[in-house]
Amino acid sequence: MERLPQAVLRVMEEANTKLSDNPKLKQLFLNCFPNTLQTTTKLHDDDTSYVFTGDIPAMWLRDSSAQVRQYLPLAKEDADIRRIIAGLVRKQMKYIQIDPYANAFNETPVALDEIHHRDNTELNGWVWERKYEIDSLCYPIQLAYLYWKTTGDTSLFTGEFKTVATIIMNLWTTEQRHFEQSPYRFSRMDCRKTDTLKNNGMGMPVNYTGMTWSAFRPSDDACTFGYLIPANMFAVVVLRYLEEIATEIYEDGPFADKARRLKDEIEEGIQTYGIFHHPKYGKIYAYETDGFGNYNLMDDANVPSLLAIPYLGYTTADDPIYQNTRRFILSEDNPYYFSGEQAQGIGSPHTPDRHIWHIALSMQGLTADKQDEVQKLIKLLTTTDADTGYMHEGFHADDAKVFTREWFAWSNSLFSELIYRTYWLNN
């Protein structure tokens, strides 16, 4: 963008006072808060917005939504921010209609022989990558709903939005019985094993649970077991949103009933199949299950995650099962929780061993119920940027100067959301 919205400039000016006692934090915030707008946002002539992820030129449905969320509190007062966010939702609606199984899209279509990933799946010149992830369809609905609740603007809820919402619900219903009904197949040759699905591109067998199947995690890594619990929780939340939109905006009872039935089926599946009785922590949410009694007990830094359950709106931070789960995933019993000389936090199998993610540290702060924990995490975030002035993907627990992705706008945005919530909204 050529110029920043006035509300963003105002917040940056206020940072000079609100963060004046911590120069390092102030500079990080001044760098990270406008980063999405300065480096990854394009306004298209058709009143849409294209928000690419940073060092990769494609637009992820997930990342793009998360990259603008820190601007939502400013949307009611600033027409430019409304233009950006509403334009992004309109762009996402168009992309989902092209291919609802795709997770990332090109700005303009390319020839089929120029597609970035030549995977064994249905190919389309608009699609950068076709790794099906439940959260790719959750984020645009969430963004539209939060935009409505913040601004009161209902203009996004058009016939097109309703069409896309129906596509999403139909897909999730199909994927409740993945092996019996799904047309989706995905395999990639000559790659690491987490970049492809086993079993001829179908993934490993699953039992019917009421939950909806996902091929990949929000890390873009293949699921070990097909029912990804935090992603199904996110689906429950956005189906609740769709039920409200159907009732209040469209006044469409059958549409609302469809959202409610699917929400209830997925919720029953989570509560019946997604809870593991841990000998040390008690009842906890598993990260994945297959419905056959197998569980993957871990958490991943990418959102939706188990850590992010209250942030997503599935339940509150004081929920006993969430509290048990939080104790588990913030311990070394979680295979992707790392402790080192410079930091401790959650990483991901997507990045090298013992790499902690800034996204996970920010999310830990956003879901903490005590201010001393929040301040401890903010201090940790400010001391692990390797003096670059920005957040990264993962950094080594023993040496923050060893890191991945110097330009990763989602991480900058989530950090900004934590700081804005702590020093603006909570003060």
* CATH number, domain containing residue 113: 1.50.10.10
Beta bridge partners of 339: 344
pLDDT at 186: 98
Find the mean pLDDT for residues 329-347: 98
- Residue type at 136 in one-letter notation: S
Q: Which of 48, 54, 191 is nearest to 117 (CA)?
A: 191
Q: Is residue 253 part of a domain?
A: yes
298 touches 347 (CB < 8 A): no
pLDDT at 357: 98
Q: Is residue 409 part of a domain?
A: yes
Domain count, the chain: 1
Separation CA 80–CA 343 (nearest Å): 38
Sign of CA dihedral 174, 177, 182, 188: positive
Find the mean pLDDT for residues 325-347: 98
Separation CA 356–CA 283 (nearest Å): 26
- Residue type at 222 in one-letter notation: A
Pairing of β 282-285 and β 288-289: unpaired
How many other C-beta atoms lie within 10 A of the C-beta of residue 427?
Answer: 7
Q: pLDDT tens digits, residue range 122-135?
A: 999 999 999 999 99
Find the mean pLDDT for residues 284-311: 98
Average pLDDT, the chain: 97
pLDDT at 1: 73
Q: Is residue 257 part of a domain?
A: yes
Query: Which band of pLDDT confidence, cut at 50, 70 and 90, is reported for residue 118?
Result: confident
Beta bridge partners of 59: 105
Q: What angle do helix axes 159-174 and 229-245 make, rounded to 10 degrees?
A: 140
Q: Which of 56, 37, 145 is nearest to 92 (CA)?
A: 145
pLDDT at 426: 85
Q: Is residue 24 part of a domain?
A: yes
Whether pLDDT at 333 is above 80: yes
- Residue type at 8 in one-letter notation: V
Q: Is residue 1 part of a domain?
A: no
Q: Is residue 109 part of a domain?
A: yes
Those residues with Cβ within 8 angstroms of residue 78's Cβ, 6 or more apart along the chain or in another chain: 5, 6, 7, 8
Q: Is residue 236 part of a domain?
A: yes
What is the three-state SS of the chain? CCCCCHHHHHHHHHHHHHCCCCHHHHHHHHHHCCHHHHHCEEECCCCCEEECCECCCCEEHHHHHHHHHHHHHHCCCCHHHHHHHHHHHHHHHHHHHHCCCCCEECCCCCCHHHCCCCCECCCCCCEEECCCCHHHHHHHHHHHHHHHHHHCCCCCCCHHHHHHHHHHHHHHHHHHHHHHHCCCCCECCCCCHHHCCHHHHCCCCCCCCCCCCCCECCCCCECCCCEEHHHHHHHHHHHHHHHHHHHHHHCCHHHHHHHHHHHHHHHHHHHHHCEEEECCCEEEECCEECCCCCEECCCCCCCCCCCCHHHHCCCCCCCHHHHHHHHHHCCCCCCCEEECCCCEEEECCCCCCCEEEHHHHHHHHHCCCCHHHHHHHHHHHHCCCCCCCCCCCEEECCEEEEECCCCEHHHHHHHHHHHHHHHHHCC
- Residue type at 238 in one-letter notation: V
- Residue type at 45 in one-letter notation: D
Pairing of β 275-278 and β 104-105: unpaired
296 touches 289 (CB < 8 A): yes
The torsion angle over the Cα atoms of residues 408, 301, 81 and 259, rounded to 10 degrees, is: 140
Beta bridge partners of 60: 104
Separation CA 297–CA 287 (nearest Å): 6
pLDDT at 113: 87
Q: pLDDT tens digits, residue range 192-228?
A: 999 999 999 999 999 999 999 999 999 999 999 999 9
Q: Would you say how long the chain is, in residues?
A: 427
Domain that holds residue 79: 6-425
How many other C-beta atoms lie within 10 A of the C-beta of residue 23?
Answer: 10
